[in-house]
Amino acid sequence: MYHVSDMTGILRASCAAAACVAVFAARGADAERVTAAPLSRVSIERAAKAAGFQVREFMAEIPAAERSNFAFTPFNYDDPQLAALREKYKLEEAVKDAKDEWAAQLLLKQWVYERIPGGNPASSPKTAQEILDRSANGERFYCTQYAITYAECAQALGWQARKIGVDRRHGPEGMGSSHHGAAEVWSNQFRKWVVMDSQSNLHFEKRGEPLSAWEIRAEWLTNGGADVDHLVGIPPNAVKKNPAIVWWNRPDEDETSTYYWIYIADHVAETEKTRHIFPLDGLHDGAVWYQNDPAGSTFHMGYRRNLFLPTRRLSDAYWSVGVVEARVDGAERGAIRLSLDGYDPYRTRFEASLDGTTWEPVADARSMAWPLKAGWNTLRLRSAGRRGITGPEMAVAMLLKDAAAPSE
């Protein structure tokens, strides 16, 4: 992506009210033909030239957007199951004291941890509300039920989340398998998926940045997880603890090894249609994932039930959420024409900020005009969804000179 370390001064610049309104203007009659292309320095400079300007300086921060080749099925935000979960367990109250989104996601992790007793379950409920109801009556549960509960509660609060299954690189025929269930939630602040292990009130960080399951795996493969912090609780009061997984019993191995094998459930709700997105790389070649059960080790159920969707394309497992995919579609005198897209199941609109002004809804994401003028021009874009949740921002700043103006 294009990145600039500090665009703050430029992005706070003021603009005339007329320019703010013009973002919703219809296509002008004097539109120029510009080859449609993803928003980049090259495509923007070509369009600015077609709009009558020369680009003197250019800065941008454009987050990379990733798409999966596999479909993922979240709950509909208005699904009665999620609505009942939100209402009965007052989920918004559980996170209301958070200073930002990341703190809220951690508060939810701790909330789930505090409400589900760990231990051998007497039943196998498939929904968060069933698990929470039975937990309130003293029933105990495995890691799977913590993962189900976190993923559903996160979606009920407007975030994208999914269940994952992980395991260490065990011996032949499953010797030493440590199959484990956790969740990942999309962080708009960090622009990535991050692991939430509610069973242990645990997440993992490296130099202050939370890690996904695949990143934890990479850290273990690099140096046995030596650079990873295992954090229990909520910063700044989180405790560094290793091991932190409540059932970990391998003193000879760091618990980050649990993330060698990974699958991602392609449905948040447990259904007969649920499959497991199965990211692989060359280190998996020749290896087989086994799963321990009371009768002994067997091939993982992903093989036995044909649930695995194997892929060596990491974006199939780690797609982005809420990242604006902007395209330059054309230009007219004094304006660039953009179209906006992006993956976000809970998106209700796109929003734009011109020259540091307040965020305004984009009236037509298929054709948005960015009005230009001589001098500095800035544009910020983001997606917006339920509960006021907004996606990662993209920003572009250009210093323009009117091409028709006399040379200096």
Residues 341 and 227 in one domain: no
Number of other residues whose CB lies within 10 A of the CB of residue 36: 12
Mean of the per-residue pLDDT values for the chain?
Answer: 90
Q: Lowest-pLDDT range, 9-13, 42-46, 295-299, 348-352? A: 9-13
- Of the candidates 107, 110, 71, the one whose C-alpha atom is nearest the C-alpha of residue 309 is 71
Tell me: pLDDT of 66 over 70.
yes
Position 74 in a domain: no
Are residues 212 and 288 located together in one domain of the fold? yes
Rounded distance, CA 380 to CA 393, Å? 7
With a pLDDT cut of 70, the percent of the chain lying above it is: 90
Query: Is it the case that residue 23 has pLDDT exceeding 70?
Result: no
pLDDT per residue as tens digits for the range 101-158: 999 999 999 999 999 999 999 999 999 999 999 999 999 999 999 999 999 999 999 9
| Domain co-membership, 181 together with 312 | yes
Which structure tokens are listed for 206?
């490296």
Q: Which two tokens stand for residue 147?
A: 């993962």
pLDDT average, residue stretch 314-337? 97
368 and 390 both lie in a single domain:
yes
In a domain, 3, yes or no: no
Residue with tokens 């909330």: 111
Q: Higher pLDDT residue, 178 or 389? A: 389
SS3 assignment, position 55: strand
Contact 143, 182 (CB under 8 A): yes
Say if residue 290 is in the same domain as residue 224. yes
Could you tell me if residue 70 is inside a domain?
no
Q: Are residues 325 and 340 in contact, defined by beta-carbon separation less than 8 angstroms?
A: yes
Res. 175: pLDDT tops 80: no
Q: Is 151 domain-assigned?
A: yes
Among 265, 298, 316, the domain boundary falls at 316
pLDDT of residue 5: 36
Q: What is the pLDDT of residue 298?
A: 86
- What pLDDT is recorded for position 408? 62
**pTM of the predicted model, to two decimals?**
0.90
Predicted confidence band of residue 33 (pLDDT cuts 50, 70, 90): low
- Confirm whether 72 is domain-assigned: no
Does any domain span residue 407?
no
Q: Are residues 333 and 307 in the same domain?
A: no
- 310 plus 337 within the same structural domain: no
Whether 185 contacts 105, CB under 8 Å: yes
Considering the domain architecture, whether residues 95 and 229 belong to the same structural domain is answered as yes
- Rg of the chain taking only CA atoms, in angstroms: 24
304 shares its domain with 332: no
Least confident of 136-145, 169-178, 205-214, 390-399: 169-178
User: Do residue 162 and residue 293 come from a single domain?
Assistant: yes
Let me know: does 203 contact 195? Beta carbons within 8 Å.
yes
Give the pLDDT confidence score for residue 272 in this predicted structure.
Answer: 87
Confidence of residue 404 (pLDDT cuts 50, 70, 90): confident
Q: What is the pLDDT of residues 238-265, one digit of tens each?
A: 999 999 999 999 999 999 999 999 999 9
Between 16 and 61, whose confidence is greater? 61
The total number of structural domains that make up the chain: 2
User: Would you say residue 329 has pLDDT above 70?
Assistant: yes
The answer to whether residues 203 and 149 belong to one domain is yes
Same domain, 300 and 396: no
Burial 169-193 (b: 16+ CB within 10 A, else e): bbeeebebbbbbbbbbbbbbeebbb
Domain stops at, among 316, 340, 361: 316
* Domain limit, last residue, from 287, 316, 345: 316
Least confident of 22-31, 168-177, 178-187: 22-31
The domain in which residue 216 lies consists of 80-316
* Span 363-374, average pLDDT: 97
Residue 57 is assigned to a structural domain of this protein: yes
Residue 150 lies in a domain: yes
